[in-house]
């Protein structure tokens, strides 16, 4: 959620900014205290233990990291994990953007229905949804049979990367639709009218006015989907082939199959650092785009 | 919102935080004193141990936790052995699961062992004998009725017996069924999809051995396994291979006819056939497997845990376990009451013993990690 705050605040400087009086600042800290203590106990401390183990188990040194970065199979799996996450994000954007727009454009009744359609799967257990996909996608399953009917035989929808992407996209779609909808619903739609009254064709209005204003939603939603994708375990395990394993499955192998916790720590560390690096690059570029936009807006008004 | 934090509210919040911290500390440190009620040296009676018995009320006030892999298997173990054991001995039996080797390691290395009797793989039991698991005391555990060759290390006894077997679709190959490992790998003579195990983090003994047997290696030359040769043989049919990751999935592949042949656990094959899947086992050179029962080092009450294992090994308990789960009994006196189909899947009969390929568990205990790594790399190659 911090991501959404950071991204949306950067375009709305009035909210949340400004210096608070000292007493207020203490008050805010006190509000945060229980959750900070909880996070330290159940997140920071275990993470620190994992870090220490990465460099000490079974011997002090960098052997776990050098093993991980030097192993061709592990590198291939890491790259596959990031490409899969990127593909899932792209699929979610392609499906989620028009959907969020439809939610904003719809009347209150239709909007309620559309919202419910996003939320009902979101409230359904991940296991249930994944098993439902297993039944739908399997060979001789309904989707395969329908496709065979129109001459598309032998598509590998399950036990393949395609199945994993289908399943993960469906599970993660709400994480893109909701932030997109939140941002789009704050966009002043008179701006689009204004642009068309100034002679812009609909497509120009969309690309020059609507799309830039919805960027924070795209950024926040995509990041949520992308980062969640990196850690998926159950869905790739059930819908994918073990030949298309992702990092989380490899970490499981080290933790539970081989009891190599130092190596598992190294894998987690590399994943974490890579994720933060991508996050940092994206945040910077989005902020810069947003700042440019505000500047343009200011130039236009002055 | 921040207007809400006047002086009083802030105090309450800070108190709340302190309480949360205290609770967390308690949760972290509190585990160590949650042991069994009475001492760890119960009186189990005199004389040599006899499988399937325990001195009445010898363990009153003791709590034991039994850990296995869940499903009908663990239900059967509880009903056939652990619950009656609790009733006779007076011990309170808890259950947990599924068995997770990393949790065993975490408990033993943290010195906070909450699991007492654990059902794990025979290879892991052998690998960790003396490390994570303690030797079983034969004055408490009577192993005399266990079929020959099934006790493979000093820390464990089998929990049941089963096997890895090839089954084939009778609708497809009924007239000319496969009869050997070579046929399983012959996709020209027997076209169709093959299911094998491709579980995350594990490889069953049997998959690589089967590839070598199919490649013409003599049964007594299979060990030490030539990994490259075995994986090369597997690669030759990789495009026809379908991987299962759990027993349930292996069974589901048969029931929905996703594969034409499959290498899977006998219990799962039986369940699928019983549910109407048109498959038949090919018993030539099937591979025996077993789960084993162990007591982790640092268990609060090892003698009570071993008494439970001794009770579990009884003829009556094993007969009932077989009736409930279809796995084979590991007591030679056990006489389970089963229908013909279920009986045909028993792996401890003399006929099956004749057909089997003997897996070298000792070799596996020493080479398990290398095999898992090689297989995982092959899968993702």
Report whether B261 contacts B195 (CB < 8 A).
yes
Asked if residue B298 is part of any domain, the answer here is yes
Asked if residue B335 is part of any domain, the answer here is no
Residue B201 at interface with chain A, using a CB cutoff of 8 Å: yes
Q: Which helix (H) or strand (E) holds B26?
A: helix B7-29
Residue B376 at interface with chain A, using a CB cutoff of 8 Å: yes
Asked if residue A258 is part of any domain, the answer here is yes
- Cβ <8 Å between B245 and A41: no
B130 and B65 share one domain: yes
- Cβ <8 Å between B101 and A256: yes
- Cβ <8 Å between B5 and A30: yes
Q: Which of A20, A31, A249 comes nearest B200 by C-beta?
A: A249
Per-residue pLDDT of chain B (381 residues; tens, 9 = 90+): 333 333 344 444 444 444 444 444 444 444 443 444 445 688 888 888 999 999 999 999 999 999 999 888 999 999 999 999 999 999 999 999 999 999 999 999 999 999 999 999 999 999 999 999 999 999 999 999 999 889 999 999 999 999 999 999 999 998 899 999 999 999 999 999 999 999 878 888 999 999 999 999 999 999 999 999 999 999 999 999 999 988 888 999 999 999 999 999 999 999 999 999 999 999 999 999 999 999 999 999 999 999 999 999 999 999 999 999 999 999 999 999 999 999 999 998 889 999 999 999 999 999 999 999 999 999 988
Number of domains in chain A: 1
Asked if residue A31 is part of any domain, the answer here is no
B-chain residue closest to A77, CA distance: B380
B186 and B127 share one domain: no
Q: Which of A28, A33, A36 comes nearest B2 by C-beta?
A: A28
Note the pLDDT of residue B40.
Answer: 66
As a whole number of Å, the end-to-end CA separation of chain A is 34
Q: Which of A37, A237, A253 comes nearest B17 by C-beta?
A: A37
**Angstroms from A269 CA to nearest CA on chain B:** 19
- Cβ <8 Å between A261 and B102: yes
Mean pLDDT value of segment A158-164: 91
A-chain residue closest to B238, CA distance: A243
Report whether A16 contacts A9 (CB < 8 A).
yes
Report the distance separating Cα B52 and Cα B317, nearest Å.
Answer: 7
Residue A171: which domain range?
Answer: 73-301
B156 and B178 share one domain: no
Number of domains in chain B: 2
Report the 10 Å Cβ neighbour count for B333: 13
Asked if residue B22 is part of any domain, the answer here is no
B272 and B125 share one domain: no
Q: Output the 3-class SS for chain A.
A: CHHHHHHHHHHCCCCCCCCCCHHHHHHHHHHHHHHHHHHHHHHHHHHHHHHHHHHHCCCCCCHHHHHHHHCHHHHHHHHHHHHHHHHHHHHHHHHHHHHHHHHHHCCHHHHHHHHHHHHHHHHCCHHHHHHHHHHHHCCCCHHHHHHHHCCCCCCCCCCCHHHHHHHHHHHHHHHHHHHHHHHHCCCCCHHHHHHHHCCCCHHHHHHHHHHHHHHHHHHHHHHHHHHHHHCCCHHHHHHCCHHHCCHHHHHHHHHHHCCCHHHHHHHHHHHHHHHHHHHHHHHHHHHHHHHHHHHHHHHHHC
B219 and B299 share one domain: no
Q: Which of A27, A249, A259 comes nearest B101 by C-beta?
A: A259
Give the tokens for residue B23. Answer: 């609770």
**Angstroms from A27 CA to nearest CA on chain B:** 6
CB-based contacts of B292, cutoff 8 Å, min separation 6 = B119, B120, B121, B122, B125, B152, B156, B157, B158, B159
Could you tell me which residue, A302 or B261, shows the higher pLDDT? B261
Note the pLDDT of residue A283.
Answer: 82
Asked if residue B147 is part of any domain, the answer here is yes
Does residue A2 surpass a pLDDT of 80? no
Asked if residue B43 is part of any domain, the answer here is no
B206 and B142 share one domain: no
Give the tokens for residue B360. Answer: 């070298």
- What are the angstrom distances between the C-alpha of A112 and each of A102, A103, A174? 12, 8, 15
Note the pLDDT of residue A20.
Answer: 64
Asked if residue B301 is part of any domain, the answer here is yes
Note the pLDDT of residue B36.
Answer: 41
B-chain residue closest to A259, CA distance: B102
Note the pLDDT of residue A22.
Answer: 78
The string over B182-197, giving b where at least 16 C-beta atoms fall within 10 Å of a residue's C-beta and e elsewhere, is: ebbbebeebeebbbbb
Residue B130: which domain range?
Answer: 48-160+291-325
What SS3 class is residue B92? strand
Asked if residue A209 is part of any domain, the answer here is yes
B281 and B298 share one domain: no
Q: Write the DSSP symbol of residue B329.
A: P
What is this model's ipTM? 0.81
Residue A13 at interface with chain B, using a CB cutoff of 8 Å: no
Q: Which of B200, B258, B381 comes nearest A252 by C-beta?
A: B200
Asked if residue A22 is part of any domain, the answer here is no
Asked if residue A111 is part of any domain, the answer here is yes
Asked if residue A176 is part of any domain, the answer here is yes
Asked if residue A230 is part of any domain, the answer here is yes
B236 and B363 share one domain: yes
B319 and B371 share one domain: no
Give the tokens for residue B50. Answer: 């006899």
Nearest to A168 by CA among A97, A87, A278: A87
Residue A32 at interface with chain B, using a CB cutoff of 8 Å: no
- Cβ <8 Å between A245 and B5: no
**Residue where the block lists tokens 């249930």:** A128
- Cβ <8 Å between A38 and B24: yes
Report whether B296 contacts B134 (CB < 8 A).
yes
B103 and B202 share one domain: no
B358 and B312 share one domain: no
B154 and B236 share one domain: no
Report the distance separating Cα B63 and Cα A7, nearest Å.
Answer: 54
Residue A39 at interface with chain B, using a CB cutoff of 8 Å: no
Residue B58 sits in a domain of what CATH number? 3.40.190.10
CA A169 vs. chain centroid, Å, equals 10
Q: pLDDT tens for residues A104-155?
A: 999 999 999 999 999 999 999 999 999 999 999 988 889 988 888 888 877 7
State the DSSP string of B257-288.
Answer: T--SEEEEEHHHHHHHHHTT--EEEEEEEEEE
A200 exposed, middle or buried (CB, 10 Å; 0-12, 13-18, 19+)? middle
The pTM (predicted TM-score) of the whole model is 0.83
Q: Write the DSSP symbol of residue B224.
A: S
């Amino acid at each position: 959620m911090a991501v959404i705050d950071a991204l949306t605040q950067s375009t709305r400087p009035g909210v949340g900014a400004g210096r608070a009086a000292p007493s207020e600042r203490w008050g805010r800290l006190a509000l945060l205290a229980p959750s900070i203590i909880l996070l330290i106990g159940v997140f920071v401390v275990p993470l620190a233990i994992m870090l220490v183990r990465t460099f000490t188990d079974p011997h002090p040194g960098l052997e776990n990291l050098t093993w991980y970065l030097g192993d061709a199979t592990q590198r291939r799996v890491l790259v596959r994990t990031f490409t899969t996450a990127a593909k899932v994000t792209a699929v979610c954007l392609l499906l989620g953007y028009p959907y969020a727009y439809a939610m904003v454009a719809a009347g209150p009744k239709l909007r309620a229905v559309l919202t419910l359609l996003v939320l009902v799967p979101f409230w359904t257990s991940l296991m249930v949804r994944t098993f439902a996909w297993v039944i739908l996608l399997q060979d001789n399953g309904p989707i395969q049979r329908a496709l065979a009917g129109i001459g598309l035989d032998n598509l590998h929808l399950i036990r393949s990367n395609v199945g994993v992407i289908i399943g993960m996209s469906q599970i993660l779609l709400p994480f893109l639709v909701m932030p997109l909808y939140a941002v789009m619903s704050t966009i002043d739609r008179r701006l689009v009218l204004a642009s068309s009254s100034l002679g812009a064709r609909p497509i120009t209005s969309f690309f020059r006015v609507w799309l830039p204003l919805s960027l924070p939603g795209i950024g926040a939603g995509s990041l949520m989907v992308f980062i969640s994708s990196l850690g998926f375990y159950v869905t790739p395990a059930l819908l994918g082939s073990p030949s298309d394993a992702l990092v989380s499955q490899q970490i499981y192998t080290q933790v539970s199959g081989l009891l190599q916790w130092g190596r598992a720590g190294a894998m987690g560390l590399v994943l974490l650092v890579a994720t933060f690096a991508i996050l940092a690059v994206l945040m910077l570029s989005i902020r810069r785009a947003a700042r440019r936009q505000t500047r343009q807006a200011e130039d236009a008004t002055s | 919102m921040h207007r809400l934090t006047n002086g009083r509210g802030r105090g309450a919040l800070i108190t709340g935080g302190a309480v949360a911290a205290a609770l967390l500390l308690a949760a972290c440190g509190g585990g160590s004193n949650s042991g069994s009620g009475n001492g760890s040296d119960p009186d189990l009676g005199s004389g040599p141990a006899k499988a399937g018995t325990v001195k009445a009320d010898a363990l009153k006030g003791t709590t034991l936790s039994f850990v296995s892999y869940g499903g009908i298997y663990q239900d059967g173990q509880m009903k056939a052995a652990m619950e009656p054991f609790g009733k006779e001995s007076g011990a309170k039996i808890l259950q947990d699961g599924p068995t997770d080797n990393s949790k065993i390691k975490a408990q033993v290395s943290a010195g906070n062992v909450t699991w007492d009797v654990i059902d794990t793989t025979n290879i892991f039991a052998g690998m960790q004998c003396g490390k994570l698991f303690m030797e079983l005391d034969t004055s408490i555990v009577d192993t005399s009725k266990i079929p020959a060759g099934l006790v493979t290390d000093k820390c464990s006894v089998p929990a049941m017996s089963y096997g890895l077997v090839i089954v084939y679709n009778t609708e497809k190959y009924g007239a000319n069924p496969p009869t050997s490992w070579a046929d399983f790998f012959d996709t020209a003579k027997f076209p169709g999809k093959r299911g094998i195990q491709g579980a995350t983090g594990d490889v069953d003994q049997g998959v690589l051995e089967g590839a070598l047997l199919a490649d013409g290696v003599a049964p007594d030359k299979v060990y030490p396994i030539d990994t490259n040769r075995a994986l090369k043989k597997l690669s030759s049919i990789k495009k026809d291979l379908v991987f299962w990751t759990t027993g349930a999935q292996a069974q589901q592949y048969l029931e929905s006819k996703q594969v034409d042949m499959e290498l899977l656990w006998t219990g799962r094959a039986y369940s699928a056939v019983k549910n109407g899947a048109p498959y038949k086992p090919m018993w030539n050179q099937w591979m025996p497997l077993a789960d084993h029962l162990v007591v982790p080092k640092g268990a609060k009450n090892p003698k009570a845990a071993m008494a439970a294992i001794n009770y579990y090994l009884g003829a009556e308990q094993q007969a009932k376990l077989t009736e409930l789960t279809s796995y084979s009994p590991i007591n030679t006196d056990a006489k389970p009451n089963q229908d013909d189909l279920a009986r045909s899947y028993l792996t401890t009969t003399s006929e099956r013993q004749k057909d089997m390929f003997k897996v070298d568990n000792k070799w596996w205990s020493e080479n398990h990690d290398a095999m898992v790594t090689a297989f995982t790399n092959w899968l993702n190659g």
